A and B are shown apart, each in its own frame.
Chain A
Amino acid sequence: MRPTAPLILLAAAVVAAGTLTACGSGSGSDKNTVKVAFIKDTNGKVTVRDDYVRLVARQFEKSHPGKKVRLIPIQASENDYYTKIQQMMRSPRTAPDVVYEDTFLVNSDIKAGLLRPLDDHLGTWDDWRQFEPAAKAAAKGQDGRTYGVPDGTDTRGLWFNKKIFKKAGLPADWRPEDWAGVLDAARTIKRRVPGVIPLNVFTGKGAGEAAVMQGFEMLLYGTGEHQLYDPGAKKWVTGTRGFKDSLRFLDTVYKEKLGPDVSDALSPNIQTQVAAELLPEEKLAIDLDGSWLGQQWQKTGGGNPWPAWSATLGQAPFPTQHGTPPGKVSLAGGWTWSVPQKSRQPELAWKLIKTFQSQRNALEWCVRGAQIAVRKDVAADPRYRTSVPGIGFFTGLVKISQYRPALPEYPRVASAIGEAMEAVTSGDASPDKAAADYDAALTSLVGGRTVARP
C-alpha cells in the first residue's frame, strides 16, 4: 500500500462520517412535536387535504400551548404512498406519530405490527358513540381491536354529462338497469356524438387499487354473491363466471373503443386526467367513479375550479349485471387516522386525532373533501347535507355498499386483479386466459387457501 493511501481513506472516512451523521440528526424527535404523515394529491394544484390538515394543526397548536405539529405531506400515487408510509413506520427514527391509512391496507399493516390499538382511548372518548357501526368496523383488526379513527367513507356510481346525453338523445334522469344498459348508452354516444369518450372504467396497473375498486369490483360485486372471497369457507374464490364476465365487460369497453384510448387508460396519470381534464372539458360522457370527485372542482383548494359541474353532471347508481336485486351496486372504502406502533409520542398523537375528528373539524372535512360522513351528528348537519350537489345521492348508496375483504392478503390480491385487467385491456390476453392466470397467481399468493366455484 502506498503511504498516502491510509491518509486518503481517513479523509474519506471523516467526510463520510460527517455527511452520515448530518443525515441522521434531522429526524430526531422532541417531546413536544407530533409528526403527521398524509397523502398529497399528485395534482399539485389540489390542496383540499393539505389545507384542512394545516387548519387542524394550527388549531391543535393553539389549544395545546408549547406543542408543535410537524406536517409530512407525501406527494405520490396511492400505491407509492402506501409503500412510503410502511417503510417509515418500520423504524422508530422515521415513524410518524399520526398516519393517514386507507382502510383496505389497515389489516395488512395491523398484522405486520405497524399500528397501535386505540381501544383504551376510544373507551373513554364520548364522541366515539357518534360513529356509524360500519365505520367503526372499518379499522378493526382480526383480533377485535380498533386501530384507527375513520374520517369519512366513500361510495361509487356513474357520473354522466347531461349536455352530452341530450345531444345523444338520452334522458337526463338516466338509470341503466343492467350492464347492457350501460353499454348501449355508450354505443349510442359513440354513434351520435363523435369526438367524446363515451365511457370511462378505470383499468390496469397504472391507476393502482383505484382501478381494482372503482373498475373491477364494481363489476364483480354485481355478478353474484361471494365471487372474490367466501367468508363462510374463509377461502378465496377461483374460477368464477363472474370474474370472467367482469373481464369481458372491460374487454368490450376497450375493444369497441367505448373507453379512453387504451394507451391513456393504462397510463399512470389517467385518474388525474379524468378529473382535471376529461370531465371538466366535457370530453367524457360517462365515468364510473367515486363520490369524492366534486372536491377537485371546489372553488378553494380544488385543482380545477368548475362551478358549472353541479348543473352539468348527473349521477346514476351502477347496475348489477342482469339487474338482479337490489339492482345497484356500490363499494365503500375510506381512510382512517392511525398511530404507528413505533410512534414516540402516542399520547400526543391521540390528542391530535381527537382534534381531527371533533364534530366541528369532521364536518369541515366532509364539506371540503366531499366525503360521506361517518359521524351521525355530521350526517345530520344541514351544512353537510347541502355542501356538495350529489352528496345526498352518494350518501344514499351507503345502505347497499359492500366492503372489500379486509384481510391481510387483500392488497396483493388486488394487485393480481390489476394485472388481469391490464392483460385484457392491452390485448395481451383473452378474458379467459387472464382469469386463469389470476387463479394461478391467487393460489400462490394466499398459500393455497382457495376454493373453486363455477
Chain B
Amino acid sequence: MTGAVAGKAAARARTPGAPSPGRVLTRLLRWSPLAPATVLLLLFLVGPIGYCVFIAFTDTQLTGQESASFVGLANFRHAFGDPAFRNAVVLTLVFTVLSSVLGQNTLGLALAGLMRRASRPVRSLTGALVICAWVLPEIVAGFLLYTFFERRGTLNALLEWLHLPAQNWLFTLPVLAVSFANVWRGTAFSMLIYSAALAEIPQEVTESAEVDGAGGVRRLWHITLPMIRRSIGTNLMLNTLQTLSVFGLIWAMTRGGPGNRSQTLPVFMYDQAFLKSLIGYGTAVALLLLLVGALFSAVYLRLMREEV
C-alpha cells in the first residue's frame, strides 16, 4: 500500500507527536468504510455485553424492587458459597464431557468414517436422518425426547417389549437422559465436519499405509487422527461452546429437576434471574459460565497448536 509507505516516510521526517494533516486524512479515509460496522458493533455487541457486566455487580431484580444498587463482588462471592451453584458447575462439566466431548465428537467421527465406506443410498439416508435431528429447533427436540424418555414413552415401550424393566429415565437418570438428547441432536455437526476432514486425506497416504501392512486401528491412530487434528480441535471447541449454552433441551425435558439433579449452569441462571427475579445474580452466573467456556477454548487451542 503506497499510502501507508508515504505516511510512514512523512512521519519519520517530522517531530514525533504531530502527525501531518495528510496522514490523518489518509487514516480517516482508510477507516471510514469501517465506521458503520464499528458503530453497530459498539451499539449491539459491546453495549449489551458491557451492560451485562455492569448488571452483574448490582443487585438488580426483575420485580419487587424500587431501585438497584452497586454491590461490588457480592454476587460472585455468593455464587462460590452457594451449594446450588457448585452443583450446577459439576453438572455442567458432566453434561459437557458426556454429551459433547465423548458423545457428539466420537459418534460424529465414527459416522463420518462409516459413511465413507457405505453405499450411496445408505449414506444419503443416514445423512438425512442425522441432519434432520440437527435442524430441529432445540425446544422441539426437547419435547420429542421428553416423550421418548418419559415413563409411558417410546423407550419404555421398547424395553417392555424386550421384557426389560421400564423406569422413568428423566427421573432416575436425568443427566444421562439430557446428555443423550444432546448427542442425538448435535452429532450431525461433528459428522459434517469430520466428513469434510476425512475427504481431504490424500488417498495415497492411506494406500501406502495399507501396503506397509498397517491395520485399521493403526491407520486410524497414526494416519487419520493426526491428519485431521485441526478439525478435531475446531469441532471440539464449537461443540463444547454450543453444549455449554444448551438450555431449551434441558428445560423442556426436566426443568433442571428432579430436585436440582439436572440443573446445569444455564438452567440455574434462568432459575435465579427469571424465576427468583435476581437478575444481578443471574448475570454474574452468566459471566462465570462465559469463563468456563473460555477455559475450555483455551485448552483446545493449546491442543491444536501442538505437533502441527
Using an 8 Å CB-CB cutoff, how does the interface string of B269-292 with A read, 1 for contact, 0 for none?
A: 000001111000000000000000
* Chain A residue total in the interface (Cβ 8 A): 42
Judge if A451 is at the interface, Cβ distance under 8 Å: no
Judge if B65 is at the interface, Cβ distance under 8 Å: yes
Question: Which residues between 56 and 103 of chain B lie within 8 Å of chain A, taking CB atoms?
Answer: 61-66
Q: In the complex, which residues of chain A have a beta carbon less than 8 angstroms from the beta carbon of B44?
A: 16, 20
Q: In the complex, which residues of chain B have a beta carbon less than 8 angstroms from the beta carbon of A114?
A: 63
Q: Which listed residue (B36, B65, B170, B172) contacts A10, Cβ 8 A?
A: B36
Q: Which listed residue (A20, A111, A205, A409) contacts B255, Cβ 8 A?
A: A205
Task: Given A263-B151, A426-B259, check contact A412 B64 (CB 8 Å).
Answer: yes
| One of A25-33, A79-87, A239-247, A336-344 contacting the partner | A79-87
Q: In the complex, which residues of chain B have a beta carbon less than 8 angstroms from the beta carbon of A6?
A: 30-31, 33-34
Within the complex, the shortest CB–CB distance from B27 to chain A, in Å, comes to 13
Q: Which listed residue (A10, A17, A86, A262) contacts B62, Cβ 8 A?
A: A86
Judge if B127 is at the interface, Cβ distance under 8 Å: no
Within the complex, the shortest CB–CB distance from A115 to chain B, in Å, comes to 10
In the complex, A29→B168 CA distance in Å?
48
Within the complex, the shortest CB–CB distance from A151 to chain B, in Å, comes to 21
In the complex, A65→B277 CA distance in Å?
40
Question: Which residues between 8 and 53 of chain B lie within 8 Å of chain A, taking CB atoms?
Answer: 30-31, 33-34, 36-37, 40, 44
Question: Which residues between 95 and 120 of chain A lie within 8 Å of chain B, taking CB atoms?
Answer: 105, 107-109, 111-114
Using an 8 Å CB-CB cutoff, how does the interface string of A5-25 with B read, 1 for contact, 0 for none?
A: 011011011101100100000
* Chain B residue total in the interface (Cβ 8 A): 29
Judge if B180 is at the interface, Cβ distance under 8 Å: no
Judge if A280 is at the interface, Cβ distance under 8 Å: no
Task: Given A9-B37, A206-B257, check contact A112 B274 (CB 8 Å).
Answer: no
Residue of A nearest to B43 (CB): A20
Using an 8 Å CB-CB cutoff, how does the interface string of A410-439 with B read, 1 for contact, 0 for none?
A: 011001000000110010100000000000
Q: In the complex, which residues of chain B have a beta carbon less than 8 angstroms from the beta carbon of A16?
A: 40, 44
Judge if B137 is at the interface, Cβ distance under 8 Å: no
Residue of B nearest to A416 (CB): B276
Within the complex, the shortest CB–CB distance from B34 to chain A, in Å, comes to 5
Contact B33 A411 (CB under 8 A): no
Within the complex, the shortest CB–CB distance from A390 to chain B, in Å, comes to 30
Contact A79 B151 (CB under 8 A): no
Contact B259 A411 (CB under 8 A): no
In the complex, A20→B171 CA distance in Å?
42
Contact B168 A263 (CB under 8 A): yes
Q: Which listed residue (B64, B257, B258) contacts A112, Cβ 8 A?
A: B64
Contact A113 B66 (CB under 8 A): yes
Contact B259 A422 (CB under 8 A): yes
Q: Which listed residue (A263, A411, A423, A426) contacts B170, Cβ 8 A?
A: A263
Task: Given A261-B168, A263-B151, check contact A112 B36 (CB 8 Å).
Answer: no
Judge if A199 is at the interface, Cβ distance under 8 Å: no
- The SS class assigned to the A binding surface is helix
Q: In the complex, which residues of chain B have a beta carbon less than 8 angstroms from the beta carbon of A9?
A: 33-34, 37
Within the complex, the shortest CB–CB distance from B263 to chain A, in Å, comes to 10
Residue of A nearest to B273 (CB): A83
In the complex, A17→B37 CA distance in Å?
9
Judge if A184 is at the interface, Cβ distance under 8 Å: no
Residue of B nearest to A108 (CB): B64
In the complex, A205→B36 CA distance in Å?
47
Contact B37 A83 (CB under 8 A): no
Q: In the complex, which residues of chain B have a beta carbon less than 8 angstroms from the beta carbon of A107?
A: 64
Residue of A nearest to B169 (CB): A263
Within the complex, the shortest CB–CB distance from A74 to chain B, in Å, comes to 14
Q: In the complex, which residues of chain B have a beta carbon less than 8 angstroms from the beta carbon of A206?
A: 255, 257
Judge if A268 is at the interface, Cβ distance under 8 Å: yes
In the complex, A9→B277 CA distance in Å?
38
Q: In the complex, which residues of chain A have a beta carbon less than 8 angstroms from the beta carbon of B171?
A: 262-263, 266
Task: Given A109-B63, A112-B65, A411-B63, check contact A426 B33 (CB 8 Å).
Answer: no
**A residues whose Cβ falls under 8 Å from a Cβ of B:** 3, 6-7, 9-10, 12-14, 16-17, 20, 79, 83, 86-87, 105, 107-109, 111-114, 204-206, 261-264, 266-268, 408-409, 411-412, 415, 422-423, 426, 428
**B residues whose Cβ falls under 8 Å from a Cβ of A:** 1, 30-31, 33-34, 36-37, 40, 44, 61-66, 151, 168, 170-172, 255-259, 274-277
What are 14 sample pairs from A and B whose C-beta atoms fall under 8 A apart?
A6-B30, A9-B33, A9-B34, A10-B37, A83-B274, A111-B66, A204-B258, A205-B256, A263-B171, A263-B172, A266-B171, A411-B63, A412-B276, A422-B258
Q: Kindly list the 5 A-B residue pairs having the minimum CB-CB distance in the complex, ordered from nearest.
A: A263-B171, A13-B37, A263-B168, A408-B64, A108-B64
